[in-house]
């Protein structure tokens, strides 16, 4: 099931040309990821703390831009999650102007996450709290 999030482009997120600064796209993607975790009952403070026996680094990202986003633009961001292995998943994000037709993106992004042991730095099975999140938001198809 896709997770949908809404946000407004802020003045401080734009560059001298008045459009969204490119690196903000991945910040927004992570904002959606964090919000979806909390929506599924994950305690973000605990999840992102270094006290866990595991860490969840992002090992790959990508973004495509199709139309400029400016201060005041309302965005609808749709996140889809795909399990890749028992230790890995991919999040795909589609950015739309709020109220626009969903066949016209303003941007797309993805992040690939791998669960590793904090000490050994080797892959490990995704922890139970994240497994609940995956079960809630995972899409049945393989990622693109």
99-120, pLDDT tens digit by residue? Answer: 877 777 899 999 999 999 999 9
Question: Domain containing 77: what range?
Answer: 3-137
Residue 35, pLDDT > 80, answer yes
Question: What are the DSSP calls for 47-98, one per residue?
Answer: HTSTTSSEE--EEEEEEEE-S--BTT-EEEEEEEEEEEETTEEEEEEEEEET
* Percent of the chain with pLDDT strictly greater than 70: 98
Q: Is 64 exposed, middle or buried (0-12, 13-18, 19+ CB in 10 A)?
A: exposed
Helix (H) or strand (E) holding 46: helix 44-47
Residue 142, pLDDT > 70, answer no
Residue 90 to residue 93: CA distance in whole angstroms? 10
pTM of this structure: 0.91
Residue 123, pLDDT > 90, answer yes
Q: Which residue among 15, 73, 103, 117 is the active-site one? A: 15
Number of domains in the chain: 1
What average pLDDT does the chain have?
Answer: 92
User: Within a domain: residue 125?
Assistant: yes
15 catalytically annotated? yes
Which pLDDT value is given to residue 144? 58
What are the pLDDT digits (tens) for 61-80? 999 999 999 999 999 999 99
For 26, the 3-state DSSP assignment is helix
User: Within a domain: residue 142?
Assistant: no
For 35, the 3-state DSSP assignment is helix
Neighbours of 113 (CB within 10 A): 19
Average pLDDT over residues 121-143: 87
User: Within a domain: residue 144?
Assistant: no
- Find out whether 27 and 7 touch, Cβ atoms under 8 Å: no
Helix (H) or strand (E) holding 107: strand 107-114
| CATH number of the domain that residue 98 is part of | 3.10.129.10
């Amino acid at each position: 099931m896709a997770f949908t999030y809404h946000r407004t482009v802020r003045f401080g997120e734009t560059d001298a040309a008045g459009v969204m600064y490119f690196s903000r796209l991945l910040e927004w993607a992570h904002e959606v990821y964090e919000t979806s975790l909390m929506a599924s009952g994950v305690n973000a403070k605990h999840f992102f703390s270094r006290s866990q026996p595991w860490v969840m680094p992002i090992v790959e990202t990508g973004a495509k831009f199709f139309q400029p986003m400016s201060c005041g633009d309302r965005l609808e961001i749709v996140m889809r999650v795909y399990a890749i292995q028992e230790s890995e998943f991919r999040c795909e994000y589609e950015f739309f102007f709020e109220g626009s037709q969903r066949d016209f993106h303003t941007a797309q992004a993805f992040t690939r996450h791998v669960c590793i042991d904090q000490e050994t730095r080797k892959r490990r099975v995704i922890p139970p709290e994240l497994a609940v999140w995956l079960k809630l938001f995972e899409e049945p198809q393989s990622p693109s």
